[in-house]
Structure 1
Amino acid sequence: MKTWHIHITGRVQGVGFRPYVYRLAAKQKLNGIVYNDLDGLHIQFVAKEETAIPFYKSVLKGAPSLAKITGHTIFKVKDQSFQDFQILQNQEVKTAALMLPPDFAMCENCRTEIQSSDNRRALYPFTTCTQCGPRFSLINNLPFEREFTAMNEFKMCTTCNEEYTNPENHRYHSQTNSCSDCGVRLSLANTLGEEFESNSDLAIKKVVALWEKGKIVAIKGIGGYLLTCDATSSNAVNTLRKRKHRPSKPFACMYPNVELVQREFQTHVSELEMLSGEVAPIVLLRLKKKRASIAVNEVVPGLDQIGVMLPYTPLYELLLQAYGKPIVATSGNLSNASIVFEDRKVFSELAGIWDYVLTNDREIITSQDDSVVRFSPLKKTNTYSQVPWFGAQLFRTGFK
């Protein structure tokens, strides 16, 4: 029996890698530890060589879908003794050589939970798990542990903590874990900063009613504020253009579901996969003739392609499902300025643009804007190639 050390580099933090290793080791009855460090993921365990090597291969082969391994190695170290297998935190680190975990779009499990009336996270706008949710926008320091993120301000309730510490739960060591009892709070306010709704369900209903009235609503998202309005209303879109001093540049639209997108746009399987995948960027699509529900001339003046996205957070999912129509969702900024993400600046830099603001009490550490992607058909094939638009990057780091 020897002590082995596995070191894996790449995107290995914030993707559920440690819980996966824990469950795999427990299944094989191995004793050891797994922990995050600034140079990646580390696993130490005791085993015979005929057990260690297959375990190493299994770790790599079954890695979480969100992981991106750039390097890996296994080697023997000085003999150690472990009582069981544990996930460790707060390792002493010196240098950083780590791929930062990006913000991930909401997964299907979380989507199902917020839509299920009998689930404890029904209608909770900040539901996440190890497979989805904010990462990069919340990080204060590395490695990726809750205490180094904006979520450290929210103490988990008893039930959330039980999920966090239960190896059989899909929120085991989910650093962004929270619920309506202990988590992030929504707040709807007017231009004077007067809060008039803090109940999440009622706030969402009121935003829907405001859109119906043609109002401009600023919404605090993952990496900054978005300015939103009814995309089917010419008056609402023109009002937003006038206030934002954006006379002709196209706006992006958020659609409530993929079915409505397919009904109105020419779509390829690659485009649909990108729209609903873990990145969930804006994808440029061509409208089908006479199928547009949006005010095309006002949304994209003089263009034949529209930037389309699907709800990529629980908050947007709840809002768009309640509204049932597409909305304009454009960066909360003035033309040629960076996106506003600080709460105080939404009342100064964006003053005069929005009528109401839907905000929350979780700090955004690093601002990000939505990415834009365009697909182009490859000649003599049925496949599509992915071409970033204006150099935009994936994982919500581009500009629109």
Structure 2
Amino acid sequence: MNGARPYVPRAGQRAAAATAFPLDRKRQLLIWWREIDRVLLALVLGLMALGALAVMAASPASAGRLSTDDVTLGDMHWFWLHLRWQVLGIAVMLGTSLVPPETARRGSILLAALMLAFLVLVPLIGVEKNGATRWLNLGVQFQPSEFLKPAFAVLIAWILSWQARDPGLPVIGISGTVLGAIVVLLMLQPNLGEAILFVGCWFVLVLLAGLPLKRLGLMAGAGLGLLVLAYIFYENGRNRINAFFGGGTAYDQVDLASRTLLGGGWTGTGLGLGTNKMRLPEAHTDYIFSVVGEEFGLLACALLVAVYLAIVVRVVLRLMAEDRLFIVLAGTGLTALFGGQAFINILMNLQLFPSKGMTLPLVSYGGSSTIAQCFTVGLLLAVTRRNPYLSSEKFLLPQGGPKRIRR
């Protein structure tokens, strides 16, 4: 045979580098399609389609309220804008889902650092809306906390996963310090709703990573103490909490939202036939769930809730087959943020939670918020990618794991 002889390095020489065979783009896409959670992707796209219908229903109400003597907005103004943001959001979601989990982790850590820096700038040069300064205008207006949420979940998951290599590291203290800095910066805006969401995500991850049960009472007491301080010093939040427990009036946002939600009965008035929505502030964003109830009925609201629950359950089932601590924590944190925001918004519309400036993920109209939510789902799809032909043991915390984590 005249085959090429293998290369054998001489003494003191390094072996020749292995030839790299980069995968072509078509093959990469085939691998992505095989590894992606297609059920989760279909649920998310279906939710976005329902969101487009909801914004179509709410657009005339918001266009009428936000029109001025100088500028008259068309009835479908917010709907057409929402479609553009959705197209861009889908591109961000699919592009993010293509990256390997390690790349997603590194990118999220860098994004978290960048958004933290922007949060520091918000009280200094931020844009004020409705009495709160939460936005930055750097050529494009955006809310840094929206993009910080998915990056925060991945960052905390990465910090807590250090325990797998060195159980002696004070991962709870390190992650708690990061959380504390974020909460302080959010309260300077002020933004109590987002602060509660960040704390909830951190608590879920720390609990999953192995928080000793004896510390739960201490942490719950500290959280209650912080809420009391927020009630005392945060006037806007205090007024909303008082209105929530004291009962609303005909002019309260939450009361208007409740009457709009119930105005359509089980089947709704029909698309474009709702009347209560015309008096509802932020009909296309914070209170879009109520608009869905009026025009499409309570059955449509139940369908929306079912889709959110299906997304959460699907991710949980996917993570149950995982054997990597970081993936379990990152997937759980991203899902906690996504599902937590959805259910806070729904409870707010049902008068079961004080009014908060928090949108319904992938349903409410949004520019930067839509992109941020699509990025969240893209990260979730990226970290849960699995080769269906490879089996792995299910993730289990080490026996006595909670006792090995230090503060």
Greater strand content: 1
The answer to whether TM tops 0.5 is no
TM-score between the two structures when normalised by the length of structure 2: 0.26
The normalised TM-score by structure 1 is 0.26
Between structure 1 and structure 2, the one with the greater Rg is 2
Query: More helix by proportion, 1 or 2?
Result: 2
